[in-house]
Chain A
Amino acid sequence: MNHRKNFLFLIILLVATYFAFAFVYPGPWTPSWLPERDFRYGLDLQGGASLIYQADLSGLPEAERADSLEGVRDVIERRIDFFGIAEPRVAIREGTQQLLVELPGIKDINEALEMIGETPVLEFKELIEVEVTEEDLEEIEAHNQAVRQQAEEVLARVLAGEDFAQLAQEYSDCPSGAEGGELGSFQFEDMVPEFSEAAFNLKEGEVTSELVETDFGYHIIKQTRGEDDEGTIEASHILFATQQSTADVFWQNTELTGRHLATARRSLDAMTGQAIVELEFNQEGSELFEEVTARNVGQPLAIFLDGFSIIDTTGDGKIDESDLYAPIVQEKITGGKAVISGHMSVQEASDIASRLRSGALPVPIELVSQKTVGPTLGQESLEQSLYAAAWGLMVVILVMILYYRFPGFLASIALILFVIFLLALFKIIPQITLTMAGIGGAILSIGMAVDANVLIFERMKEELKEGRSLDRSVENSFQRAWPSIRDGNVTTLGVAAIMWLFGTGFIRGFAMILGLGVLLSLFSAIFVTHLLLRLCYGGKLEKLKWLWPV
Chain B
Amino acid sequence: MFDFIRYRKWFYLLSLAVVAVSLIGLFAWGLNWGIDFQGGSSIYVEYEAEPPALSELRTELKRLDLGEVEVRTAGERGVMIQLTEQLDDDLRNKILDRLGQAGQLVEGSYEFEIISAMVSRELADKTQQAVLVSILVILIYVSWAFIKINRPVPSWQYGLTALLALIFDVIVMLGVFIFLGHFTGLEINVPIITALLIVFGYSINDSVVVFDRIRENLLKGVGRDYPETVNYALNQSLGRAFKTSLTTIIVLLFLLFFGGSTLYFFALALIIGIISGTYSSLFIAGPLLVDLYQWRLKDKG
Chain A residues in contact with chain B, CB under 8 A?
44, 47, 52, 54, 96, 98, 110, 113, 367-377, 380-381, 384-385, 387-389, 391-393, 395-396, 399-400, 403, 436-437, 439-440, 443-444, 446-448, 450-451, 454-455, 458, 462, 480, 483-484, 487-492, 494-496, 498-499, 501-507, 510-511, 514
Contacts and interface: CB of A to CB of B under 8 A. Distances in A.
B123 A385 contact: no
Contacts of B107: 374, 376
Interface string B285-298: 00000000000000
- B191, B206, B263, most chain A CB atoms within 10 A: B263
B262 A436 contact: yes
A503 B254 contact: no
B108 A47 contact: yes
Contact of A487 (B111, B118, B208, B270): B208
Interface in B255-299: 255, 257-263, 266-267, 270
A322 to B, nearest CB: 34
A502 B252 contact: no
Contact of B212 (A400, A487, A514): A487
A391 B259 CA distance: 11
Contacts of A96: 122
A491 B114 contact: no
A476 B178 CA distance: 46
Given A391-B258, A450-B244, A370 B250 contact: no
Contacts of A372: 110-113
Interface string B176-204: 00000000000000110110011011101
A392 B240 contact: no
- A381, A450, A502, most chain B CB atoms within 10 A: A502
14 contacts: A369-B113, A380-B260, A385-B259, A391-B258, A443-B252, A447-B247, A451-B247, A488-B206, A491-B208, A494-B138, A499-B134, A501-B130, A503-B126, A510-B194
A110 B109 contact: no
A480 B206 CA distance: 17
Q: Would you call the interface of chain A mostly helix, strand, loop, or mixed?
A: helix
Contacts of A368: 115-116, 118-119
A374 B205 contact: no
Given A381-B262, A388-B259, A373 B247 contact: no
B216 A480 contact: yes
Nearest to B239: A458
A388 B255 contact: yes
A504 B126 contact: yes
B224 to A, nearest CB: 20
Contact of A399 (B108, B247, B258): B247
B241 to A, nearest CB: 9
A499 B194 contact: yes
B24 interface: no
- Please provide the 3 A-B residue pairs with the shortest distance between their CB atoms, ordered closest to farther: A447-B248, A392-B251, A376-B108
Nearest to A436: B262
B208 to A, nearest CB: 4
B89 interface: yes
Contacts of B250: 392, 395-396, 399, 447
A502 B208 contact: no
A429 to B, nearest CB: 21
Contact of B251 (A377, A443, A506, A510): A443
Given A443-B251, A450-B247, A484 B209 contact: yes
Contact of B266 (A47, A371, A440): A440
A511 B130 CA distance: 12
A434 to B, nearest CB: 13
B46 interface: yes
A273 B177 CA distance: 65
Contacts of A502: 126-127, 129-130, 133
B205 A488 contact: yes
A491 B201 contact: yes
B209 A506 contact: no
Contacts of A506: 190-191, 194
A197 to B, nearest CB: 62
B111 A54 contact: no
B118 A54 contact: yes
B35 to A, nearest CB: 10
Given A368-B119, A369-B115, A389-B254, A495 B247 contact: no
A450 B252 CA distance: 14
B262 A447 contact: no
A450 B109 CA distance: 35
B252 A444 contact: yes
Given A376-B108, A403-B243, A505-B190, A388 B137 contact: no
A455 B119 contact: no
A76 B221 CA distance: 69
Interface string B91-130: 0000000000000001111111111101100110011011
B137 A498 contact: yes
B116 A369 contact: yes
Contacts of B249: 447
A505 B190 CA distance: 9
B160 interface: no
A436 B197 contact: no
B109 A395 contact: no
A387 B244 contact: no
Contacts of B123: 504
Given A462-B236, A487-B209, A491-B204, 9 more contacts: A54-B116, A368-B116, A380-B109, A403-B243, A443-B252, A444-B198, A455-B209, A487-B208, A503-B194
A414 B266 CA distance: 27
Given A110-B89, A447-B252, A487 B260 contact: no
Contacts of B198: 444, 492, 495, 514
Contacts of B10: none
B195 to A, nearest CB: 9
A491 B138 contact: yes
B246 interface: yes
B29 interface: no
A55 to B, nearest CB: 12
Given A389-B251, A499-B194, A377 B126 contact: no
Interface string B196-230: 01101110111011001100100000000000000
B80 interface: no
A494 B138 CA distance: 8
A441 B239 CA distance: 25
Given A396-B251, A443-B251, A487-B145, A498 B133 contact: yes
B141 interface: yes
Interface string B57-69: 0000000000000
Contacts of A490: 141
Nearest to B255: A388
B247 A374 contact: no
A494 B201 contact: yes
A358 to B, nearest CB: 22
A50 B267 CA distance: 24
Given A369-B115, A487-B208, A487-B212, A454 B247 contact: yes
Nearest to A495: B201
A41 to B, nearest CB: 14
Contacts of B239: 458
A484 B212 contact: yes
A239 B25 CA distance: 86
